[in-house]
């Protein structure tokens, strides 16, 4: 089967935000005084080899900052690799930062046409499909309003509707199932399923590891810009979970708070852990007994990423992910 995506030795080095925000006036003064300034660079991707066959469904998994979204942008042609080659065959629909390419001063209708043309469609085709796109995005009443009046959620819905109106050869998804409310997410899932069934090549970035393991044929675990594992999705997800641990956390937030991970969508709260004795809940793992406090934290797959709180406010213990609490 021919390849839709072929990446060889891809590396990407980017300037740090500190360098980008450096004061221009200070830079010029240093040049006049003969003092240079070190250039700060960060390697985001390192020697990535990736071949995706036509019709294959592949997931990119890994911690935040591991390079998943950056790799997706390289595949989409949004970012050029510093070295190596990236070849993609066919029409690409990148569902990345939905709505980011809209012109805020143009009307919603005009942005539909503009965005569609950027994705490779003709102006006439986009005008003909505009009503269907507005209906799907539930934005028909805003047709002639400037896009800047839309909320970020509305912009994301519009971007999704435009990008998925036509069947692409390669579909790139970056956490797009988080768009809108539950009803709209069901609409998104139903629309994406038609691409799944039509053997479109799909590369998806997702923290929903249950979705990855049950839906994708293959998963690639990125770790600090390098491919750590490339194989069957269930095996890759299991290896990733086995490696993951929570940071040590102290009750009261003196160290790293789990709330940050919840806010990023990596962990969800699923009620409380209680025993017949009240808060005395223990997890037995590796011969060690860990006391679990009132709040139980799980990742989206049901694996335990536990908030271990002693009733007398002792230090909370680490519990590696990969354990299922029943």
How distant, in Å, are the alpha carbons of 18, 21, 30 from that of 33?
22, 21, 5
Residues 232 and 259 in one domain: no
pLDDT value of position 98: 72
Residues 203 and 322 in one domain: no
Q: Residue 37's domain spans which residues?
A: 3-240
How distant, in Å, are the alpha carbons of 248, 273, 281 from that of 284?
18, 14, 10
Tell me what the pLDDT averaged over the chain comes to: 72
- Per-residue model confidence as pLDDT tens digits over 39-92: 567 788 999 999 999 999 999 998 888 899 999 999 999 889 999 999 999 888
Instruction: Average the pLDDT over each of 13-27, 32-46, 91-105 and give the range with the smallest value.
Output: 13-27
Residue 303 has pLDDT above 70, yes or no: no
- Domain count for the chain: 2
Contact indicator for 172, 72 with CB cutoff of 8 Å: yes
Give, for 50, the enclosing helix (H) or strand (E): strand 41-53
Last residue of some domain: 183, 218, 240? 240
- Per-residue model confidence as pLDDT tens digits over 126-166: 999 999 999 999 999 999 999 999 988 888 889 889 988 98
How distant, in Å, are the alpha carbons of 173, 193, 315 from that of 178?
11, 16, 34
Last residue of some domain: 179, 210, 240? 240
pLDDT value of position 29: 59
Q: What is the dihedral of CA 317, 323, 325, 326, to 10 degrees?
A: -150
Strand partners, 48: 10
Pairing outcome for strands 170-174 and 92-95? parallel
Residues 190 and 298 in one domain: no
Neighbours of 188 (CB within 10 A): 21
72 or 325: whose pLDDT is higher? Answer: 72
């Amino acid at each position: 089967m021919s390849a839709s995506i072929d990446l060889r030795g891809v590396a990407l080095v980017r300037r740090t935000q500190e360098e980008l925000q450096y004061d221009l006036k200070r830079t010029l003064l240093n040049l006049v005084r003969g003092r240079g300034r070190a250039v700060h660079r960060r390697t985001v991707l390192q020697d990535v080899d990736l071949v995706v066959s036509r019709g294959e469904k592949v997931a990119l998994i890994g911690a935040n900052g591991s390079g998943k979204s950056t790799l997706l942008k390289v595949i989409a042609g949004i970012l050029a690799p510093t070295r190596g080659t990236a070849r993609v065959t066919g029409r690409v629909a990148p569902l990345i930062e939905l709505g980011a390419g809209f012109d805020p001063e143009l009307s919603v209708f005009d942005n539909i046409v503009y965005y569609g043309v950027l994705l490779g469609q003709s102006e006439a085709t986009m005008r003909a499909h505009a009503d269907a796109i507005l209906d799907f995005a539930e934005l028909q009443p805003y047709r002639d309003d400037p896009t800047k009046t839309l909320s970020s959620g509305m912009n994301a819905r519009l971007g999704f509707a435009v990008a998925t109106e036509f069947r692409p050869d390669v579909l790139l998804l970056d956490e797009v199932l988080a768009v809108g409310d539950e009803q709209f997410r069901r609409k998104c899932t139903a629309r994406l399923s038609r691409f799944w069934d039509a053997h479109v090549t799909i590369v998806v970035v997702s923290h929903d590891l249950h979705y990855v393991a049950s839906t994708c044929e293959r998963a690639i675990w990125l770790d600090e810009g390098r491919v750590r594992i490339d194989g069957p999705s269930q095996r890759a997800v299991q290896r990733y979970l086995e490696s993951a641990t929570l940071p040590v956390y102290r009750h009261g937030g003196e160290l790293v708070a789990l709330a940050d991970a919840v806010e990023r969508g990596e962990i969800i709260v699923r009620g409380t852990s209680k025993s017949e004795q009240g808060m005395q809940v223990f997890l037995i793992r590796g011969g060690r007994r860990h006391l679990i406090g009132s709040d139980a934290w799980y990742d989206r797959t049901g694996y335990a990423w536990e908030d271990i709180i002693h009733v007398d406010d002792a230090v909370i213990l680490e519990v590696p992910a990969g354990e299922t609490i029943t």
